[in-house]
Each structure stands twice: as C-alpha cells, then as structure tokens.
Amino acid sequence: MASEVQNFYKNKYIFLTGGTGFLGVAIIDKILRTAPEVAGIYLLMRPKKGKAIQERLQDLTKNSVFEQLLETQSADIFKKLIPVSGDVGENFLGLSQEDQAMIVANTNVVIHSAATLDFQATLRPTVNINLLGTKRVLELCTRMRNLKSMVHISSAYVNSYLTEAEEKLYPCTETAQKVVDLVDTLNDSALDELLPKLLKDHPNAYTFTKQLAEHEVNKHAAQFPCAIIRPSMITGAWKEPTPGWTISKNGPQGFLMGASKGVIRRLPVGVDLVYDYIPVDAVVNQTLVLGWYMATNSFREVKVFHCTTSTSNPFKWRSVVDQMNDYLHKYPLKSAIWYPRLKFVSSLWVYKLASIFVHILPALVLDFILRISGGRPMLMRLHTNVWDSLNRLEKFIFTEWKYHNPATQQLAQSLPEQDKTLFNFNVSQLQWPEYFVHLTQGVRRYLNNEHPKSLDAARRKDKVLFIVDIVFQVLIFALVGWLFTAVLGASGSSFWLYGAGCYLLFNLL
C-alpha cells in the first residue's frame, strides 16, 4: 500500500527550480523512485554551453543518481520530466507565454531550490538569483490555480551571525526593496564599496540575500501554504539512492577527493568543534514531506524547519580523525598521485606553514614533471585556489553553530510508520563513523570515477606508493641533515641526528 506522502504526490504536477544541481537531481530521483505515479515534474532549465534544454535533459538522465532507479524502472520513467526553458535570473523566470500558462494551470507543488552558492559572489548576481529569483517564483505561484504548497530551500547559514538559531524568521537589517533599488541604481564599484555596510554581521552576500529571500516567502504565506527548509552543509547520501553517493565537491567530500589522490595532506579543522553536516537524502526526504505536510494542514503562516544535525546528532571530527587514513587506504585510488597521509591542523597559520612544504613545493615539482611529459599542470592551480579561499571560509571552518530543530524532530516523529521508513530524515539514527566509511567509498566511485572492480589493483598500487613515500622521506631528511652538518661544520655522523630532528619538527606541522 502506498504511504500518505506517496498518495499525495500521485497525479500531482511539481514545478522544480535548481533541478540540475546536487540537491535537485536527488529530489528528482527520489520522486521517480517512490512516487512514480506523479503526473509530471516541470524542470526549469536554461540552455547552456550551446545545448538546448532537451539535450540538457538527456545529459541529466545519465546522472549516476539514477542508477538505482533504472534497476527497477525503464528509461520511460524519464517521460515524467518536462523541461521548460527559463532562468530564475530573468523576468518572469524567462518562461514563454505558453510555458507559463501550462505551469500556472497544472502545478500543485512548487520546490524552489535554485540559488547561487558562491560565497565569493558580489551583490548584483546574488540579489538577482537569490532574492529576485525567489520573488519571481513567488509571483508565478500567486497565479497557480491548483497550488497546494510551496517549499523554499534556504540555508541554516542565513543566520550565521548568530552562533545559535531557532526555527523562526529573524529580522533583516535592510529591506529587500532598498537593496534591489541600490542594485538598480549603483554601478559595480559603488556596490562593492557599499557592501560591508549592508552586510553588517553577515559573512557574505550569499547569506545576506538568502535571508532577504526568506522574508519574501513570508509575505505570501497567507496566500498559499509555504515552508522554509534550512539545510546546513549538504553532504553525500546516508542511505539513498546508495550510501555515499555524491556529485558535490563541497565540504568533506571535496577534501576526501584530494586526500585520496595524495595531494591534500593537511586540513584546517577544529577536531573538537561541532560541525553541522546533513546528508543529501535527509534534505530530500524532508523537502518532499514538507510539500505534503503543508498542503494537508493548510497553514496560513510560514513554517520554518532546520534540516541540521548540530543539536540532534552532533558530529565532531574527533570521532573519526584516527580512522580517516585507514579509510583512505582501505579504499585507495588506482589514480593516486602519492601515498595518502592526511593530518588535521587546528589553526589557519599552521595549515599555511605546513602547506608550503606538503602542498606548494610538491605541486611545483609534480607540475614541472607533468609539463615536460606533455600533461597539463594543475596542482599549483588547485592549491592556489584553496589558499585564496581560506580567509573567506575561516569563519565557517572554525565557528561552531547550534541550529535547534524541535519542529523538524517533531515532524519526523509524527509521520505515519510507513513514511518514517520511506521518507526518513530522523538523523538521530545516523552513525557518523559508518557514514564516513560509505562517504569515502562514494567519493572514490562518483567523484574520482573509479569502479569497485579496480579496488584490488588500487590496493596493490597503494602498497607501492607507501614504499616510495618512505624511501623519499628517508632521502629528503638525510639530505637536510647533511646540509645542516655541512653548514654548521659538525661531525659527519651528526647528519642523521639533524635529519631526525628535522623530521620530528616537520611532523609537528
């Protein structure tokens, strides 16, 4: 028997923005797997890289997220996906009159996921996409004749100037209209100069404009049921479509990707701080449940839900720090460049000092080898980008937030039993060490594109790289010891002592 949530989506039309992103494709997959009798999903897509939206849809259906779906369904299931040409950054979402009429007449549930996630973006693009894009979606919603609910995907970090936040709207320091007027009247240099005054305690334009967007949603809550879901850092899958699945290089999966290659060897992390990571399938399940929950309760006020772990199942790197290198060697890469050896450091200046020796200098050597062998040097560019981003991200690396989520916990516990299983977002059940084992494998499979069948060959290579790494370290520190001996005029036998001393000092970094 179908569950209540499944029954709700039967014969419903869903309008989805941001459907080509990490979260968006996971939402599509979940709908098609658990509610295949959905009438259709309107996907707002813009032509990109010379490809029409039909071509982009074909590319979308090849995403690894659908592997499990296609084991039980034929490719005909993708006929449920209805691409419409448009862009949240354009007036009327860039939709044609015909597509507007179709969406307005048929849509029952709106899920607004599209946003620019660039923490470095300036005010103009973030206002256009995050704020005005939300306003445009809401304006379309007001015209929908059969709209049952609207779910706006925000971010827990909209209130990142607070170290503790509740599931409620917090006041904005500026009005949306004032910010829009400034963007319309000032040039880019004037906006850049004004930005710090506008942001006040906000760390960047992303959190500032996402908070303004929440208040736009609130303005329409009396017209149709609106929910705001605030995920924290979205990470690889906990259970669905398969444990560890990811296509995102943000957060822990990004550094695991580099660490497994052997090119990321230090990571600035407070191992005893609580980090708020949330698996993508928990966000997907709660989003779809909210579409049903808001429609069946006919709320006339906005409801805010934190999709977070910091207060319900807090994660500290301390719980897995001793196992991370074991995971990397149990599931190594055949394409590894060097022997993986990841170390966590507790401050940015220690990271930068260590990075000179373990990232920058090796990158210069390896890029030189790649260049003379006809390859494309890339390691220096990678580490330069990481270096440049650290000051911008320092607040997010070394700040501990507590996002209280009683409304989310109550919703999870109040679901019918069948929906608790099918649409599980009760993250109190998540076991973090087990999760990171799966995430390591997911990064190997989906980000580094290495099939499980190559694991035996990868383990053989890992053993060879271990020997090479040991020999290399012995030679390097012996050379350093010899140089110290020569410069200081010490006895020849002292170079091993100097080499060992340098080795011990280096390992403090």
Q: What is the 3-state secondary structure (H, E, C) of 448-490?
A: CCCCHHHHHHHHHHHHHHHHHHHHHHHHHHHHHHHHHHHHHCC
Which spans in 73-132 are helix H? 97-106, 123-126
Distances (CA, A) of 287 to 153, 230, 291, 404, 411: 8, 10, 6, 18, 12
**Cβ proximity of 480 and 494 under 8 Å:** no
- For residue 445, give the nearest of 233, 232, 241 by alpha carbon: 241
Token pair 């029954």 is found at: 7
Give me 222's structure tokens. 């009396």
DSSP string, 362-380: HHHHHHHHHHHTT----HH
The predicted pLDDT at position 490 comes to 62
The predicted pLDDT at position 472 comes to 82
DSSP string, 167-230: SSPPPPSS-HHHHHHHHHHS-HHHHHHHHHHHHTT-SSHHHHHHHHHHHHHHHTTTTS-EEEEE
The predicted pLDDT at position 494 comes to 66
The predicted pLDDT at position 478 comes to 75
Token pair 């040039």 is found at: 187
User: Residue 293: CA atoms inside 13 Å, Cβ hemisphere, count?
Assistant: 25
Q: CA-based Rg of the chain, rounded to a whole angstrom?
A: 25
CATH superfamily of 4-248+273-315+399-430: NAD(P)-binding Rossmann-like Domain (3.40.50.720)
Give me 487's structure tokens. 């410069």
Q: Are strands 315-316 and 274-275 parallel, antiparallel or unpaired?
A: antiparallel
Question: Rounded to two decimals, what is the model's pTM?
Answer: 0.93
Decide: residue 504, CB within 10 A, 0-12 exposed, 13-18 middle, 19+ buried: exposed
For the chain, which ranges sit under pLDDT 70?
1, 391, 484, 488-496, 498-499, 502-503, 505-509
The predicted pLDDT at position 496 comes to 62
DSSP three-state, residue 344: strand
Measured in degrees and rounded to the nearest 5, phi and psi for residue 151 equal -115, 120
Q: Distance (Å, rounded) from C-alpha 193 to C-alpha 124? A: 13
- For residue 138, give the nearest of 154, 118, 157, 152 by alpha carbon: 152
- For residue 313, give the nearest of 430, 414, 167 by alpha carbon: 430
Q: Which sequence spans correspond to the domains of the chain?
A: 4-248+273-315+399-430, 454-508
Give me 139's structure tokens. 């304006």
Give me 158's structure tokens. 């909209």
| Strand extents, DSSP E, 379-419 | 402-403
The DSSP bridge partners found for residue 164 are 402
Alpha-carbon dihedral of residues 186, 88, 162, 394, nearest 10 degrees? -80
